[in-house]
Amino acid sequence: MRLMLDRRLIARFDIYLLLSMLLIVSLGTLTIYSASFSPGQEGIPRFALRQAMWGGVGLIAALAMVSFDYRRLERWAPLIYAICLLLLAAVPLLGSVSGGSRRWLSLGPANLQPSETMKLGLVVLLARYFHHNSRPGGLKLRDFGIPLLYTLVPGALTLMQPDLGTASLFLFLFLTMALLAGPSPRTLAIVAGSGLALLPLIPFLYSMLREYQQRRIVTFLNPELDPLGAGYNVIQSKIAIGSGGLWGKGFLEGSQNQLNFLPAQHTDFIFSVFSEEWGFSGALVLLSLYAALLLRGLFVVGHAKERFGALLAFGILANIFWQVLINLGMTTGLLPVVGMTLPYLSYGGSSLLTLMASMGLVINVSMRRLDRERLPRF
């Protein structure tokens, strides 16, 4: 019986999710190669080689996430969250500084960015909480106090690094999963009314931001005010995307990229590099791959056999969706620059490993959507 069950799970392996993810990772590795390539350079650029290595480790992690029943995570969710939180709290004390921010813990030959692992830890804990707390008429306002606290603590620690983009992402994850959890109509009305009432506080909140964050908002509204300063990133990014035209300039042929006009071209602004080289058609293919990944994931959410699996998969998809939306918005000038990488495409070991392991959990939920067995609730 055990062997038959294993064979059934293997037969239900979601190859569409895996292929979509691997295609984006492969495109990302090629783009990182281009973004870090220098004419006359011998061998593979260091960033591209490391990204390929992290992709291999991430694939192993994704397959490992498939090898057990995901419902067991419900029991271990508080411990997973606590470990991620401790790592995040250690950053101000033990973290290394790069680019004016303290976000990484040095682990010998590799660096760990705890805010990336915290995204998954938060999703798992919120899925557990909302699974155990449901009401026939919808959740009341007081039911969201504890999960909001779960969100604000890592958000505050991340804001101290400072990393406004990731701190905002934690809040978006909470709001998205809270909507799926089912708030009551009265709760929705109270939240909407409170949001409108807080609008007059925007000037005060703006004054609490750091100077460089304020400049990002001002130049978002009008980048030409400081074309060589705070507006430089957005202007160069838009030039690169526009110069790609319909078919692009070709691999390793992007002038904005090769002449180093683009800032953070292998991380935050990698979409600009990709668009310059492959044009509108290439960008459309990339966005289609993201759409295929998210739509297939939503199919998994809709067919999950129990609430925890649906919430877990939805939270992981929300993490990918918001990162894609924010990154594309800031590289095209539609949103302020907040330092958000593009999932599976941008360089970053911690990010890639966490995202690939997360997709393994979505595949796990998909494989067991027809499994009638139930684990005991913890």
The mean pLDDT of 81-103, rounded to a whole number, is 83
At 227 the pLDDT is 66
How far is Cα 318 from Cα 175, in angstroms, rounded to an integer? 10
CA dihedral (209, 118, 25, 312) in degrees, to 10, reads: -120
Instruction: Classify 15 as helix, strand or coil.
Output: helix
Q: Calculate Rg over the CA atoms of the chain.
A: 21
The pLDDT tens digits of the residues spanning 178-213 come to 999 888 888 888 888 877 777 777 777 777 777 777
DSSP tag of 139: B
Q: Which of 291, 292, 257 is nearest to 276 (CA)?
A: 257
**356 in Cβ contact with 25 (< 8 Å):** yes
What residue segments make up the domains of the chain, in order of their start? 20-35+46-367
DSSP tag of 102: E
The pLDDT tens digits of the residues spanning 40-73 come to 777 788 899 999 999 999 999 999 999 899 999 9
Q: What is this structure's pTM?
A: 0.90
How far is Cα 255 from Cα 109, in angstroms, rounded to an integer? 33
DSSP tag of 122: H
Percent of the chain with pLDDT over 90: 50
Instruction: Classify 243 as helix, strand or coil.
Output: helix
How far is Cα 330 from Cα 336, in angstroms, rounded to an integer? 5
Helix and strand numbers (H, E) in the chain are 15, 3
Residue whose pair of structure tokens reads 């990010």 in the numeric block: 351
Burial tier of 353 (Cβ tally within 10 Å: 0-12, 13-18, 19+) = buried
